[in-house]
Every structure is written in structure tokens, then in C-alpha cells.
A and B are shown apart, each in its own frame.
Chain A
């Protein structure tokens, strides 16, 4: 499955009263199944826009997005994680995690429910089923947010700077956490981040975008052992080489 997710020559403009903003220009890439791809680029270049396109929240002005050979529709199962966990404070963790099932009317489906229990057990949230989000630490909340998306067995996970609201120490450990869950669940994931080190530590490939309108500057393959955790990968000898490469791409002025 070399072309699990395909973005074919995508362009997208936002229309506002002030005028037309070209956000994406000729974006063309594909993602393999079970691959972990990161997108880095200057702020405001259009990273979130790309995720919105893949999730079907936005339609491209031209070009098309295919997932598993099909166009994205409202019923395509996509997992979306944001910078903030967006747990609903009035719901218990269990009810937060199962909200997707509620929406899809699978709340009584035995198989789905046992899947939920499985995930909660496996990732250490079972004892907090009946707690409210305000009673959990930032890291645990982000884990709950991830489980919420996994409950729907998404075809792809989209992560929009999911760690940037956490402090540095927590960020490293939550990143390890989330990465290991994603690997164990055999998920395909796309991570948007500002943090080059973070991108290198989790990804198989990194897509570097230019300033707005975003075009792809380069796609860098990261060949560090996938079996290592993100923290271990940070210590590998190739790490700084990749950091330099990507940093140079990001800051170079050429188009």
C-alpha cells in the first residue's frame, strides 16, 4: 500500500471580505499505510489547512484527496487530535472517550465497547473511567483524547501540534506515550509540529513546507530505527544530521 493516502496537486484558497488568500499551492504527496509522517513549516503557512482537507472539514479549490483509494466523505473514519485535548469537562473520561460511538450510534455495539475497555485498560486509564477531565494530569488527558479517536478505528490519525500545550518534560514523555500507542495500534499518522526535534524523533518522513502559499520544499526520509522510542531516537548519532538538514531547508529563502 504505497499510496494509502494521496493528495493530488491540491490548491486551496480562503475567501474573506478582505480578499482571497491562497493557502496551499500544488501540494502533492502520499503516505503509506502504517507510516508516520510529520509536516513542518513556518507558522501560518497552511499546516492545519492540510489536515482539515484530509479530514474532510474543508474542500480543496482544485485537486483531490484520496484515502484508501476513495474520496473522503462525512462517513470516512478519521481521527483528529488538536493542540488542546478538547475533552468535555461535563463528561466523565469514559463518556468522553465514547462520544464518537455515541455519534455513530454504536453505543450499544458489544464489539466497540469491548474495544474501548481494551484501550482504557491497555493505556492505563481504566481506573479513571469515572473521573472528570479536571481531575487528570495534562498527559493523561492527552492520552484520553487519543483513545477517544482510536475508539472509532480511524483509517488515519491527524495530530495538530498535540504536545505544544504541555511543558517540556511532560511533552517528551507524552510524545513517547502517544508514539508507542500509535505504533502498537498499527495506525497511520500525520503529525503537524513546530518542533523539528519532535518531528525527527517520531517520523518516518518529514514534509517541509514553504511560507504561505504553502508548497512542498522537500520531503526528507528519516532512517533511524523505528523500534526505538522517540526519546532514544533523539540520542541516535544521525539525529543532529537530520536536524541540520531540515533546519536549513526551513530557513532557506529559495522557493
Chain B
């Protein structure tokens, strides 16, 4: 796996070049597709083939965003949603992993709780909306709770199965060297599940946005989900579309961060 600077043969250079060309043409096509969609959308609404009132248009979305920005509301709403999502994401990931550790530790507890976890996993969490509002109150708390609920079960299940997948031979090896259960957990089982943890983070990035927006649909006075619902109610498609666009961008950025983390972790896999 050493990275030597070898003088490659002509054929190999050609091969490498081909890969580069391939990558480049794919990128060009992707950009062109985006430009085409945006352009067509703008054009068709501009000439009146499509009604911009119903489907908005790129220029109207930009205008909407600029208006929001001028009012100082754009970053306010982004901030609210981002805050809820990040808090929900963090709590769900940490708590879910801790529960998975406890369940890994105690086989008995795992057996006892198994049916409950299965049911909780199958349950559409949105159905708990009204209950959450009554118990937690119609506010930020309810939104974060919704976000946590959506992420935590899948976190626990994925992490638990990653912990349990740890190679028996490696565990025997640790035990033969006199390791206790805690040492096996910390030195073997947890580091061994690190790649799975990153996948869970990736899933949770998507899920936490789902949870937060769902929560904001139910109860909210601010945030991107609120803007979308509000826009829908007053029939302002520009607002709906603009907010959705911002949401897309935010989710992408968060995903990219996790992607960077993944690269670091994947470096030393077998």
C-alpha cells in the first residue's frame, strides 16, 4: 500500500487519463442537467406555459430568499431549524449508542427488551406527535423530541448489531490475555464498530432533518419547516420552494462533514 512515485507505462498512463476523463464528463453532465432543469423551469414559467403561481420559478425563489435575507429572517429561521436538528442529532446519536452499549453488556436485558424495541422500531413515530405535544409542550422541546425519537431506535439497533458482530476469535484472544469485559468493550468492540458508527451518523443526518421538519409541521413558530407549512397555507409557493431549497443545501453540507469523517475512519480497515 505504499504510494511510490513509479514511472508508469504508457498504457497505464492512458488508463489513468481515461479515468480522469470519465470523472470529468460525468461532472459536466451533472452540471448541465442542473442548468437545464433550472433554465427550462425559468423559461417555461417566463413564457407562461407553466403557471409560476403554482410551481414558483428559480428567479422568484431567489427573490424570496433575498427578501427574507433583507428582513433578517432568513438566518433566523435557518438558525432555529439547524439548532433543533443538531441538538436532536447529537442527543439521539449519543443516547442511542449508550443504550446499544448497555444492551451489548447485558444479554439478559437484551432478551427482555427485544420485543419492545422491535415494536418501537415498527411504529411510525409521527403517530406519537399529539402525545409528545401534550407531554413536552408545544415548543422547541417537542420538535427536538420528535427528532430524537426518529433517530434513536435505528441508532440503537444498528450499533447493537455492529457490537454483536465483533469477531469471536478476537474476543477469545482478548480474554486469553486476561482482559475483563470493560477492556474488551473499550479496546475491541467499540473501535471495531467505528465504521458502522459513521454509517449510522450518515443515516442520522438524513433522519434528523426528517424528524425536525416533521416536528415543525406539528408545532412551530419559526424554522424552515414552519416557513414551508406557512407558505403552503397562504399559497405562497415561492416561500415553500425557497425554504425547501435551503433545506437541501443544509442537509448536503452536513452530509459532507460526515463524509470527511468517514474518509478518516476508513483509512485503516482490513
Most A C-beta atoms less than 10 A away, residue of B178, B187, B194: B178
Chain A, interface size: which category? Answer: 20 to 34
Q: A82 contacts B169, CB within 8 Å?
A: yes
**A80 CA to B177 CA, complexed, in Å:** 8
- The reply to whether the CB of A110 lies closer than 8 angstroms to some CB of chain B is no
A104, B183: Cα distance in complex, Å? 10
* Contact between chains at A99 and B177 (CB < 8 Å): yes
CB distance from A173 to the nearest CB of B (A): 22
Q: A89 to nearest B CB, angstroms?
A: 5
A84 surroundings in chain B (CB, below 8 A): 169
Contact A134 B167 (CB under 8 A): no
Q: Looking at chain B, what size class is its interface with the partner chain?
A: 20 to 34
Say how far B35's CB is from chain A's closest CB, in angstroms: 42
Q: How far is the CA of A132 from the CA of B268 in the complex (A)?
A: 7
Cβ contacts under 8 Å, B169 to chain A: 82-84, 86
Max count, chain A CB within 10 A of own CB: residue among B2, B167, B175: B175
Check: B270 CB closer than 8 A to any chain A CB. yes
Give the distance to chain B from A149, nearest Cβ to Cβ, in Å: 8
Contact A152 B177 (CB under 8 A): yes
CA distance A104 to B104 in the complex (A): 24
What distance in Å separates the Cβ of B256 from its nearest Cβ neighbour in chain A? 24
Asked, given contacts A86-B169, A88-B170, A89-B270, whether A57 binds B176 with beta carbons under 8 Å apart, the answer is: yes
Residues on A facing B (Cβ under 8 Å):
52, 55-57, 74-75, 77-80, 82-84, 86, 88-90, 99-100, 102-104, 132-135, 149, 152, 158
**Sample of 16 A–B contacts (CB below 8 Å):** A55-B176, A57-B172, A57-B176, A78-B176, A86-B167, A86-B173, A88-B191, A89-B269, A89-B270, A99-B177, A99-B187, A102-B187, A103-B183, A104-B177, A135-B1, A149-B177
